[in-house]
Structure 1
């Protein structure tokens, strides 16, 4: 499979190595300042760029009939536009806030726990996410996904806010510490006890492998998908 990498930072380079190890060919690498390139030489594109260029990267792929996997966060105000364009062009598109296979299992655990806790109003929920200092957005896309899944499955909470408590609010604390790939913690706390679930990434390898697996899965399909589709969850 011929892969275009849109975003060639640390994650892009890790994806490249895993793709090569799995027998694929990287035919194009695009950095944030590259504008004149031919995306059609690729069978599939993987976008791990930056928020300001992600939508343009995705649009370029869809307009040129190239399936695209995006893991860039911080651009989701234009997500519905990307979905509409994908449908208009009969293209193929996957967005995930996190491609780690373990994190996607963690997402399902979080939903199940949120449902179980819905009847227990004595518990307040809070979240913490920790990432490396180069991460541009806060809270992380993964933390937002976790919070929104809690809201969808637990009637006691209706919004999340960064560093802010309040009734029916899920407070999220975001920390930036050098060389931390990603840690996400969800905590339910009452006067008598606490329940905590946590995912700790040790390296970027898990995110990169999941993105390549998603690209392999998407290459011959049309439609808008999520990692749940890829993993059959």
Structure 2
């Protein structure tokens, strides 16, 4: 009686096809994780950059407001248009400041003022460059002067307050019965309210206003 043939042993383990399939799935998961990590890094970097720009802009507005409070100080009967003026199309080429005086109530990109805090009349200015690739806010001066109308003949030096070219700063002025910091109610005398505004990184308008109580509006 012939003996039955021995059964063929069943193979155990991982086949090449299943191994390749596992490698492909693992690579897809790794690539997806890397892409997610890159997006998180870019979002974090952009948020940090936006926060720094917003902080710098707010600090610049605060410094500009403090500086502008000097306008007309120590000058007898300081007047808007003579001892304080807003300029449109203002630009600084070397040490020369150019621009066109704007009427009270209009907007521009620079403001020039005269003061006499040291016994000698001096002029200072705030400039918001608005050309291609420019922006932010610059503090100019102080420099000896007769009054703000002589701005184009003065030799200016610039100190950057902020550098955010994507969000130009708009400078406005208007007559108002106001007092600095709103400490008391405004009087009937018309002073000058200086307003700086710009959009933050999220497109929200930021605005600060300063009552220049030493300068009378015509």
Is TM > 0.5 for Structure 1 vs Structure 2? no
TM-score by length of 1: 0.21
* Structure in which a larger fraction of residues adopt helix: 1
| TM-score, length of structure 2 as denominator length | 0.22
Larger strand share, 1 or 2 = 2
More RCO (CA 8 Å, sep 6+): 1
Structure of larger gyration radius: 2
